[in-house]
Copies of this chain bind each other. A is one copy, B any other.
């Protein structure tokens, strides 16, 4: 036998019926987690906890360029974690809902232990 790809190792396991979620759900969940999985994007979400902020405000607070912040926000928006609204010249971002707030809260809670 050639040593190509060993799938499993051939021994017996107990039978298990796993109720797996639809691919779309897991994909979206992974995309959400992936978007949160960067310290700067997570800081951005943290800054949005107390309400909406515009890009320049966030850029100032994080000491980064607007371009950088805008790109991070775009990723967070793509993962449906934040929502956008334009108001005159400014664009305001906020956490998209309380569910998001809960998830991030849980994450911080677990990490603080």
Contact = CB atoms under 8 A, between A and B. Distances in A.
A46 B26 contact: yes
Integer count of this chain's copies in the complex: 2
Contacts of A31: 37
Given A46-B21, A46-B26, A60 B13 contact: yes
A43 B64 contact: no
Question: How extensive is the interface on chain A, given as a class?
Answer: 35 or more
A49 to B, nearest CB: 8
A85 interface: no
Interface of A: 5-9, 11, 13, 16, 18, 20-21, 25-39, 41-43, 46-47, 50, 53-54, 56-57, 59-61, 63-67, 99-100, 102-103, 106-112
